[in-house]
Structure 1
Amino acid sequence: MFILANTTTVKIVYTSDVHGNAMPILYGSNEVADLGLAKYASIVKRIRKENENVLVLDNGDLIQGTPLMTHYVKEHATQENPMIGIMNRIGIDAGVIGNHEFNFGKKILTNAIKSSNYPWLSANIVTDDGKPYFGKPYLIKDLPNGVRVAIVGVTTHYIPNWESPAHIEGIQFHDALATLKHWVTHIQKEEKPDLVIACYHGGFERDLVTGEPTEALTGENQGYAMCQEIEGIDILLTGHQHRILTGKVNGVLVAQPGNNGKMYGEIHVELKQQDDDEWQLVEKEATIIPIGDTEPDNEILYYMENIEASTQSWLDQPIGYINGDMTITDPFHARVVKHTFVQFIQDVQIEASSVDISVTSLLNNESKGFSSVVTMRDVVSNYMYPNTLVVLELTGTNIKLALEKSAEYFTLDEAGEITVNPTYIHPKPQHYNYDMWEGIHYTINVAKPVGSRIENLTYHGEPLTADGTYHVVFNNYRANGGGNYDMLKNKPVVREIQQDTVELIHAYFEKYKTVNAHVIHNFKVIAD
């Protein structure tokens, strides 16, 4: 590229939603994969060799998501967080807090931030008196070429709808849009930057081209509104939705680089120096690039050697046995017809909670269930979130509304066959938001209109009464209303089980050792 003498370039490289993927492997199978920070570290080194003015950023959801991080929290939490250790060695300029940063509790997150050699930006995560709870609102970087860059970070304020209250006690989550608007105004007035980058751990609520809503406008994602309503943002780096996108909205360059460390964002900015020596932005372009077959960085591999060996040893431990078939070959079928693996999770939750109505979901389409010998690798591959359990007291009306919400997962195709509602696939897969219930009997009739699909709803052979009360166990994400289950918000909490579900599954196998695969066919999905 030909650059005029009075122009300069800035390269921004960023990750988002890495979710604990440090090593280039898939832990469920131990297959080599083109992902992870070890490979990304090599890419950053190359980019820095080729460019003088480089900013390297992370946009949140860094420390949770793989067996590596589950094992770290359970067995090695007194040591340095490996994801932070890697980012320290890469030498990133700043990080942003994501919603999943809170999953392991405040202590793990606080320790991660304290051990970071870079600042965490969290303008809208504040104390009761409005001061940043972690890190600081923004960062100013004066680059070697004289360009002054402001980087401001905000996080989706929807976190209290998902997270365990104990993990966010004493923390306020201010509106991300309003907070970003305040700080961008402040930065433009007080700091006089040449370039403003907003890092938002959140995504887009509208189509980037048409502006039409792509989801319920709950406030979880506000990226489109940020571009439209805030003056002074040059680049908006996003995440959270696990989408792969670039574009411009109202002149603001936007990007989102997928998830799990499979891709990264690379933003090229060109600026021209004016007669008064100030820089004017003349070109900006974003590209999402696959990690690909890049060789992993040897320094990172060496750093990870011990914790990785410990993780692999832990994963290979047999913890129990299955008598019968608990493998999943068709995840859609496992949601339409009660599956033995789903029954197993319900049984674990019912025993742990001492209630007889339980709710769970098949968390993603990669879940394979259990073969005859069950290892920790099998457990964490099928149940990858550190959810705890919460027992709520619900009315029959609440239960009916929650079932109707789950029933939205299905639709009929042109041939009249039952299939997955496209909104649960695009723009982000949300298979985990289809719940299956245990302890009640019901039918989902997909041929009926949304909101009136639940039929034959009974408990112990009798119809549920609208004002009757029932104790139901959920994971903490759903119990807080996560997945737009608003009918569950602020309901009376009967009991909280503080062990996470992986621990509960382990304990279940310790008690029974061999589990018989069985199924109670308590629900049907039909199109009649």
Structure 2
Amino acid sequence: MRKIKAIFALLLTVMAMPIGLNRTHAQEVPKSVIDLQILETTDLHAKIMDYDYVNRKHTVKYGLIRTATLIKESRKTAQNSLLFDVGDVLVGNSLGKYALKTQYVNFMDIHPVIKAMNILNYDAATIGNHEFNYGLEFLNKSLQGANFPYVNANIYIDDHNDFEGDDLNYFKPYTIIKKEVKDSVGKKHLLKIGVIGLITPIVADWDEAVFQGKLKVKNIRATAEYYVPIMKEHGADIIVALAHTGMEPDRGLKQKNGNSVYSLSKVKGIDAILYGHSHSLFPLKGDHSKKKGIDQNKGTVNGVATVQAGYWGNHLGIIDLQLVNKNGKWKVKNSQSSVKSIYRTINRKKIPTVPRDPEIEKIIETDHRILMDYMKMNFTHKKSPF
């Protein structure tokens, strides 16, 4: 009888085991995690081709034509990806001058730089100080050709009074991108990414003729502190700042406080900062900056994921964010910033790490050929006519 009871008890234990295991397994199911890759270009300065128009020769040191390959490679390996530009794209070489002097955007087509960017399907961009070099009319018509939004929050129409309550933005201050993303278990979510654009106020001094009596520029940090809560109210899950300013404020600025990336990183609610203007790299291996809050290994500034991708398309900036859902809201759990170069140096010789992108080459080849033919026909000296 005792044996029968023992066997019966054992059977009950075995029968109960799957239930217990299932409960344990349910507890171990990982929470929903979204891996979001954010890509950056900045300070392209019309360097679409890998070509030096001054010395009339190809180069491996720069060109969106190679950065585009890095962009496409990165997109292939990422579940969810976004691409942004941080300004200074229209001006900087003979191609940019060619677009101006031929009145390209008035009579011919979309600005050649914008055409190339359209092919790459940027999600949004902001303006740089050099965008104003050729005047507002050229700037406005050039940006009209973009199939992605341009944003800037701290340039306002000068209404010639000191009352800020009635100030109007010259550009769209921000956009909220609604993107379908997949989490780590393949479940789809609608993620709302708020994107705000900001620029160093030094632009009003450097292009005084363009700004005087027409536009005014406000403090970067104060502007962000005003708009970030508004973006949150309008449903932004995370916020990305596109800042055309350096880690430190420009030397010539009268008001330095609040006009740098370092200061911007202290604004509550910003999850990632993509910046430009200073033609530098961040994070930078081997840079042992002792400034409080700067982490060159992780690529954060005061805990905020931050990246700067050099200039002329010589690097691609990358921020990898890991998002988790807490109480129905997506939050950044972890991040890693990095930069990728389009070339490497071996025995003092620069070798391309990636080939040219055929799509960019096709879209820009006609403009490049016309420019080259014009230079050959009209000028015999080495310097570019533009």
TM bin, normalised by shorter chain, reads 0.7 to 0.9
Is the contact between residue 201 and residue 253 of structure 2 (CA under 8 Å) also seen in structure 1? no
**Which residue of 142, 145, 150 maps to 1:120?**
150
Is 1:173 the counterpart of 2:200? The answer is no
**Which residue of 320, 326, 336 maps to 1:268?**
320
Q: Deviations over 1:433-472 (max 9, x none)?
A: xxxxxxxxxxxxxxxxxxxxxxxxxxxxxxxxxxxxxxxx
Structure-2 residue corresponding to 1:345: none
Inter-CA distance 219–67: structure 2 relative to 1 (3 Å threshold): farther
Is the contact between residue 204 and residue 211 of structure 2 (CA under 8 Å) also seen in structure 1? no
Is the contact between residue 314 and residue 376 of structure 1 (CA under 8 Å) also seen in structure 2? no
The 5 Å alignment of 1:421-432 reads none
**Taking CA–CA contacts closer than 8 Å with sequence separation of 6 or more, which of the two structures ends up with the larger relative contact order?**
2
**Which residue of 365, 369, 374 maps to 2:381?**
374
Structure-1 residue corresponding to 2:173: 137
| Letter of the 1:61 counterpart | D
**Which residue of 41, 45, 58 maps to 2:68?**
41
Secondary structure of the structure 1 residue equivalent to 2:122: coil
Structure-1 residue corresponding to 2:248: 205
**CA displacement at 1:291 relative to structure 2:** 2.2
Structure-2 residue corresponding to 1:16: 42
**CA displacement at 1:179 relative to structure 2:** 1.0
Is the contact between residue 64 and residue 312 of structure 2 (CA under 8 Å) also seen in structure 1? no
Secondary structure of the structure 2 residue equivalent to 1:240: coil
**Which residue of 307, 330, 335 maps to 1:284?**
335
| Letter of the 1:288 counterpart | V
Once residues 100 and 252 of structure 2 are traced to their aligned partners in structure 1, the CA distance between those partners, rounded to angstroms, is: 34
Is 1:233 the counterpart of 2:277? The answer is no
Q: How many residues align?
A: 313
Once residues 138 and 297 of structure 1 are traced to their aligned partners in structure 2, the CA distance between those partners, rounded to angstroms, is: 30
**Which residue of 22, 36, 50 maps to 2:77?**
50
Once residues 120 and 217 of structure 1 are traced to their aligned partners in structure 2, the CA distance between those partners, rounded to angstroms, is: 25
Q: Deviations over 1:68-124 (max 9, x none)?
A: 111121125233200111111111011101100011111111011111111101111
Once residues 251 and 208 of structure 2 are traced to their aligned partners in structure 1, the CA distance between those partners, rounded to angstroms, is: 24
Once residues 111 and 282 of structure 1 are traced to their aligned partners in structure 2, the CA distance between those partners, rounded to angstroms, is: 41
The 5 Å alignment of 1:434-453 reads none
**CA displacement at 1:317 relative to structure 2:** 4.8
Is the contact between residue 44 and residue 89 of structure 2 (CA under 8 Å) also seen in structure 1? yes
**Which residue of 265, 286, 300 maps to 2:360?**
300
**CA displacement at 1:304 relative to structure 2:** 1.1
Secondary structure of the structure 1 residue equivalent to 2:339: strand
RMSD (CA atoms): 2.3
Secondary structure of the structure 1 residue equivalent to 2:381: strand
Structure-1 residue corresponding to 2:18: none
Q: Deviations over 1:235-294 (max 9, x none)?
A: 1111111111123222122221111111120110001233x3432211111101112332
Structure-1 residue corresponding to 2:7: none
Who wins on radius of gyration, i.e. which is larger?
2
Structure-2 residue corresponding to 1:26: 52
Once residues 53 and 320 of structure 2 are traced to their aligned partners in structure 1, the CA distance between those partners, rounded to angstroms, is: 34
Inter-CA distance 166–121: structure 2 relative to 1 (3 Å threshold): closer
Once residues 168 and 335 of structure 2 are traced to their aligned partners in structure 1, the CA distance between those partners, rounded to angstroms, is: 33
Q: Deviations over 1:347-370 (max 9, x none)?
A: xxxxxxxxxxxxxxxxxxxxxxxx
Secondary structure of the structure 2 residue equivalent to 1:374: coil
Is the contact between residue 60 and residue 97 of structure 1 (CA under 8 Å) also seen in structure 2? yes
Question: Which structure 1 residue ranges, 5 or more long, are not aligned?
Answer: 207-213, 320-372, 381-528
| Letter of the 2:264 counterpart | M
Inter-CA distance 281–56: structure 2 relative to 1 (3 Å threshold): same
Structure-2 residue corresponding to 1:75: 102
Is 1:62 the counterpart of 2:89? The answer is yes
Inter-CA distance 4–291: structure 2 relative to 1 (3 Å threshold): farther
**Which residue of 259, 279, 302 maps to 1:250?**
302
Would you identify which runs of 4 or more consecutive aligned residues in structure 1 move more than 6 Å? none
The 5 Å alignment of 1:466-505 reads none
Once residues 45 and 113 of structure 1 are traced to their aligned partners in structure 2, the CA distance between those partners, rounded to angstroms, is: 24
- Percent identical: 28
Is the contact between residue 106 and residue 168 of structure 1 (CA under 8 Å) also seen in structure 2? no
Once residues 282 and 305 of structure 1 are traced to their aligned partners in structure 2, the CA distance between those partners, rounded to angstroms, is: 44
Is the contact between residue 86 and residue 125 of structure 2 (CA under 8 Å) also seen in structure 1? yes
